[in-house]
Amino acid sequence: MKVEYLENINEYGEHLVKIFDFDKEEAMKFKQAIQETIIDAKRPLVFSTLDFIQHVNCLLVFLICETDEGVSRLDNKTFFCALTIDGYKQMVRLVEPYCNKNTRSYQYLYDIDTEIDLLFSPVA
């Protein structure tokens, strides 16, 4: 599983943090990390601490917040995904199909009008 930041992906100047290049086993590990660390233990999750993650050009940290804020950046290397516990529960539900079978489809991990989207895609 890799994580990459893509800048100016369209004519609207939107950006993307992409979690990609994974199989169903890694999708399950990602889902478990979100469930156990954020939802159950109520702690932030530093993506780089997961042994199956390869950072292409950015670091991603998942934070618990009072409102769903989505992804923001500290700089062009460090990104924060700030969601409520309910937002992370929804993320777990969105990731679930990728844990059951290998697929080529993709899924945005939240539906918030922000400058930076978070994409979950098993293919590059």
Max Cα–Cα distance, the chain, nearest Å:
40
Are 109 and 38 in contact, with CB atoms under 8 Å apart? no
- For the chain, which domains are there? 2-121 (3.30.1360)
Are 51 and 33 in contact, with CB atoms under 8 Å apart? no
The DSSP annotation for 22-74 comes to: --HHHHHHHHHHIIIIIIIT---EEGGGSTT-EESS-EEEEEE-SS--EEEES
Retrieve residue 83's tokens: 């969601």
Question: ∠73-74-80 over CA atoms, to 5°?
Answer: 50
Mean pLDDT by 10 residues, the chain (124 residues): 95 94 97 98 95 95 97 93 98 97 94 95 91
* Model confidence, pTM: 0.94
Query: What is the rounded CA–CA span in Å between residue 108 and residue 85?
Result: 17
The pLDDT of residue 26 is: 97
